[in-house]
Amino acid sequence: GESVGLHLPTLSVQEGDNSIINCAYSNSASDYFIWYKQESGKGPQFIIDIRSNMDKRQGQRVTVLLNKTVKHLSLQIAATQPGDSAVYFCAETNSGNTPLVFGKGTRLSVIA
Amino acid sequence: GEEVAQTPKHLVRGEGQKAKLYCAPIKGHSYVFWYQQVLKNEFKFLISFQNENVFDETGMPKERFSAKCLPNSPCSLEIQATKLEDSAVYFCASSRTSGRASSYNEQFFGPGTRLTVL
C-alpha cells in the first residue's frame, strides 16, 4: 500500500466549520508564498498565493495571512467541506523561476 | 498539452539498477523543475531547466543523478545504481517565462512517479 506521511500534524474539523492551517517559513528574503493542496496519489495543486508586500489575500473560501515579522503564514478555509480533506503545504520562493522551498505538510481531515 | 505529464506512474527497481523518469511540461512553458518527495512529507528541489539548459542544479546529488531536457523530447531524470533511500515520489513542475524578472511564475505540478527501490 501507499506510504503515509509520518509525524504529519493533523487537523480534524467538522464539516461546515472554518479551518486554519499554520506554517512557519524560513527565509526572510522570500517574497512569494504559496499554499498547495495535495490529495492522495496526486501532485500539489495551487490554492492561493501572496506577495511579501501584502499581509492578506482572499480567494474563494480561502484566505492567506502573512506575518513577515514572525515569518508566519496561515491558510484559512471557510465552511470546510469533505473535498477539502488533503495534505496542505506552504511554499516560499523569490521572484522569477526560482525553486520552491516547501514547509512540512499539515493533514486536514474533515468529519462529515 | 495543458497538463504536466509524467511517466511511468510507478517504477520498481532492485538496488543498483538504473531508473529513468520522464516529464512532458505544459506546452509553451520554458521552465521545468524536478522535486523529490519522501514519505508524503517535505519536497526537496533537485534541478531546474530553462528550455534545454540547466538553470539551477543546487539540489541535485552529484553522484548517480542526472537530468536532461532535449528539444522535442520529454525531459528525463535518471538515477544510476539506485539505492534504497532513493525510494520516493518524483514530481516534475513547469512554468512559463515572464517578461518581468520581478514577477512570480506559478509552477504547475505533474502527478508524480513513485519509485520503489527494493
Q: Within a domain: residue B56? A: yes
Please write the tens of the pLDDT for every residue from B82-94.
Answer: 999 999 999 999 9
Total number of domains in chain B: 1
More confident residue, A1 or B12: B12
For chain B, the residues whose C-beta falls within 8 A of a C-beta of chain A are 4, 31, 33, 35, 39-43, 45, 48, 50, 55-56, 58-59, 91, 93, 95, 97-98, 101-112
CATH at residue B19: 2.60.40.10
Q: Within a domain: residue B89? A: yes
Instruction: Say which residue the cell 516547501 belongs to.
Output: A102
B108: closest CA of chain A, how far (Å): 8
Query: Going by C-beta distance under 8 Å and a sequence separation of 6 or more, which residues neighbour residue A67?
Result: A55, A73
Interchain contact, A103 vs B42, CB within 8 Å: yes
Yes or no: say if A104 and B42 are a contact pair by the CB < 8 Å rule.
Answer: yes
Q: Rounded CA gap, B78 and B20, in Å?
A: 4
Q: Within a domain: residue A2? A: no
Q: Within a domain: residue B44? A: yes
Q: Within a domain: residue A31? A: yes
Q: Within a domain: residue A6? A: no
β partners of residue A28: none
In 3D, which of B23, B3, B9 has the Cα closest to residue B78? B23
Instruction: Compute the count of residue pairs across chains A and B with CB atoms less than 8 Å apart.
Output: 81
DSSP codes joined into one string, A15-59 = TTS-EEEEEE---TT--EEEEEEE-TTS--EEEEEEETT-SEEE-
β partners of residue B32: B49, B94
Please write the tens of the pLDDT for every residue from A54-112.
Answer: 999 999 999 999 999 999 999 999 999 999 999 999 999 987 788 999 998 999 999 98
A6: closest CA of chain B, how far (Å): 7
Query: Going by C-beta distance under 8 Å and a sequence separation of 6 or more, which residues neighbour residue A77?
Result: A18, A19, A20, A21, A61, A62, A84, A108
- A86, HSE (Cβ side, Cα atoms, 13 Å): 20
